[in-house]
Amino acid sequence: MTESQHPSQHQPEQSQLGKTSAYADQYDPSLLFPLPRQTKRDEIGISATPPFLGADLWTAYELSWLNPRGKPQVAIAQVTVPCESPNIIESKSFKLYLNSFNNSRFDDGQAVLDRLKADLSEAIWRGSERRGSIGVKLLTPAQFEQEKIRELDGLSLDRLDVECTHYQPAPELLRADATQPPVTETLVSDLLKSNCLVTGQPDWASVRISYTGAPIDQERLLQYLVSFRNHNEFHEQCVERIFMDLWTRCKPVKLSVYARYTRRGGLDINPWRSSQPQQPPANVRTARQ
């Protein structure tokens, strides 16, 4: 894939997902495979500017390179990709790209961070006249013990004993009682599961929904979240679908949806979407991650 290719030519089935791949161990930014966000946004009724802001919070646990003397170095990378970028990066291509650092020499960690930031920024903005950047942070081994495990805060929907019969997204389940005074609440569930759009492999997640507006029926909300169980879609797309279904059917005044997916191939992806400008959530992993 060359930089001259337009992202509209990129389709998930053209990526390395589900295919036998050669693992390059020399630095190679061409391995990154961007996919346009708009294709899936069209499916959920977003044809213009989305009604949300947000970011995709990536954590890369398998990052290594060689110092000038050939000694291996390791780090954890935290990457923040703004949701207004035209592309996402297909996760296996991200893994292959990170592996290409393994036997490449860099002067120091800052040089690695600079390459990550430049390469990932180019990929997510490829094909667009607009340009932006991404956030990249490297955690060294001396900082590893500072990394905490924390569950998503909020009232657990999983406490509810509900019957579940839908295993494909069923937005018709969602209901808010507009006759009641508005509430502000945060609801969480560990029962979100979807499948990879290409390979069908299971993706497991915890999700937090915060809103202000007419009270949302919690039992029906839990049934709705469970309905993603056999749905094939990438993490970012699932979270945007959840946001749009809640936004259009329950009509809250404010809404944010945040999901933390378990890692695969040394990567976890944690999309966050919000109707209001605010700081992204802290990139803190849950126990299952």
Please name each of the domains of the chain with its CATH number: 23-143 (3.30.1130.10), 153-272 (3.30.1130.10)
**pLDDT for residue 21:** 58
Tokens linked to 241: 């679908």
**pLDDT for residue 11:** 61
Of the residues 196, 238, 245, 268, only one is catalytic, namely 196
User: Mean pLDDT by 10-residue block, N- to C-terminus, for the chain (289 residues)?
Assistant: 42 54 85 96 94 98 98 98 96 96 98 97 91 92 96 98 98 98 98 94 97 98 98 97 98 98 96 96 96
**pLDDT for residue 1:** 32
Q: Is the dihedral of CA 16, 20, 25, 26 positive or negative?
A: negative
**pLDDT for residue 171:** 98
**pLDDT for residue 22:** 73
CA distances from 137 to 65, 143, 191, 222 (A): 16, 12, 30, 35
Of the candidates 243, 209, 184, which has an alpha carbon nearest to the alpha carbon of residue 51?
243
Does the annotation mark 203 as catalytic?
Answer: yes
Of the candidates 39, 25, 48, 53, which has an alpha carbon nearest to the alpha carbon of residue 87?
39
Does the annotation mark 196 as catalytic?
Answer: yes
Of the residues 56, 119, 203, 245, only one is catalytic, namely 203
Q: How far is CA 67 from the centre of its chain?
A: 31
Supply the pTM of this predicted model: 0.91
